[in-house]
Structure 1
């Protein structure tokens, strides 16, 4: 029988490692599969090469615990994962998951119940060059708009139009709740977004990032299960794999030295 491991990869320091360890412990209890955590701060190829090489499993399901693809998840991280001497199945970022929709609604309704006179604002990082944050936010906005009683559901971004600093002046209601589409707190969630939303003026409640909530674990588990199903169906033919899996087949590291952390 093929030995398997699940690898959760995230960007960040102590706060991110703590959150990922919580998800890893839950996932290991659920699946009975060894779950490892790897984090980097700047350069995945440099920081993760040696620790990833120590992973001992014939097949590795690698989950980028991010809400959407970035340059790193499309290029640097697949290059780093290519150094693992195993069959690596690279999963999609967890942002576009029904479990995350549920979590957004839970975060929002805990602060402002869903009524027609309340607006729900989804705040993403955004990218002017890549569509993934917009696609992720639009997915959740459409599902929540259809399934909740909020008067309107809008998305805005730090680095993309429509920008977060304009949303206060474009929403239809005087009362709103904003949910940051981030895994953990960063300077973006603690400084930039509150300042741009002008939270000190009142009228907009501000929720916590997703953090170690069990619904995030559900989203991770779903991505692994999806890759397992695809793997069982392809009978070893990696050419039939997903877009993410093919990334690990085509991206290769340029640098070869580095340090990282696996727990």
Structure 2
């Protein structure tokens, strides 16, 4: 038997913070790829510390529903799961390339495959693009009449579409910015959008000045956050000038300084996130059959599953 544990932060203050975790776990559960699927949290119940002990499966795949490698993925979750032989060096990562480590939870006799966070997996690139498609209700956003020929892209002088990938940014964890920049570069290399830039809340270049960084008339802004909350629903909309008061809401698109800003909200609420969970587990050796194809069909994505891609190449 094999089990999947989706490990997320949760919140004591925001009752909606865990909604994406439950939604994506339910999607994976419905595919039947795992005998058991469990949600576990740091700030909510069920807690990280107890979750493995509730499983019957001998083989457990733990996937952190976090954006970057850092304190929670490298210290908190392994400690709470009591993975005694764990060390960040087992991922052999440069900050965006964590894969998986196979460890034994000897007190309960289970094999634990501890995976890297969803936010640094190559499949997250597809989720960001899918988020832009969802926000604009246009599956060909950034392309000319649906063409995938780079020569057919609209030029900036024709208006065109830009894409901003937004992260928190912090001096306390340099990997936070690395994840944002990694996916930004991968999307830029696809040539789909006229401009693609990484912006941040707490470091330069700041999302507050989004219109200063784009010449395109239309800009899709995708926050690389797992759940909607204070930052995505209050700070960012007000900082970008979409609204003077988040409680009054804002238009999508909103007119700001001669640009149309298509603000999407947290990328982690996109249906395709369930695919990233599956791909992380598959990379660690989980037998998931055709579950990825099922999830992508449900999410309306025509991108190929990325578990077999060569890292750093185009989709």
Displacement of 1:5: 1.3
Distance 1:21 1:181 in 2: 19
Per mean C-alpha deviation after superposition, the further-off stretch among 178-187 and 110-119 is: 110-119
Distance 2:208 2:216 in 1: 16
**What is the root-mean-square deviation of aligned Cα atoms in Å?**
2.5
Displacement of 1:131: 2.7
* Counterpart residue number, 2:283: 226
* Counterpart residue number, 1:196: 239
Secondary structure at the counterpart of residue 171 of structure 1: coil
Distance 1:12 1:32 in 2: 23
TM-score, L = length of structure 2: 0.64
* Counterpart residue number, 1:205: 262
Displacement of 1:52: 4.1
* Counterpart residue number, 2:301: none
Q: How many residues align structurally? A: 225
Distance 1:41 1:160 in 2: 27
Structure 2, unpaired ranges of 5+: 84-104, 143-153, 244-254, 287-315
Deviation digits for residues 152-202 of structure 1, max 9, x if unmatched? 100011223322223332323343121111121010000111122122362
* Counterpart residue number, 1:5: 3
Q: Which gives a bigger RCO, structure 1 or 2 (Cα 8 Å, sep 6+)?
A: 1
Displacement of 1:68: 1.4
Asked whether 1:90 is paired with 2:147, we answer no
* Counterparts of residues 60-79 of structure 1 (less than 5 Å): 60-79=60-79
Deviation digits for residues 19-69 of structure 1, max 9, x if unmatched? 222222222333142111112228x9x953244433333221111111212
Distance 1:214 1:78 in 2: 27
* Higher helix residue share: 1
Per mean C-alpha deviation after superposition, the further-off stretch among 120-129 and 160-169 is: 160-169
Distance 1:138 1:179 in 2: 13
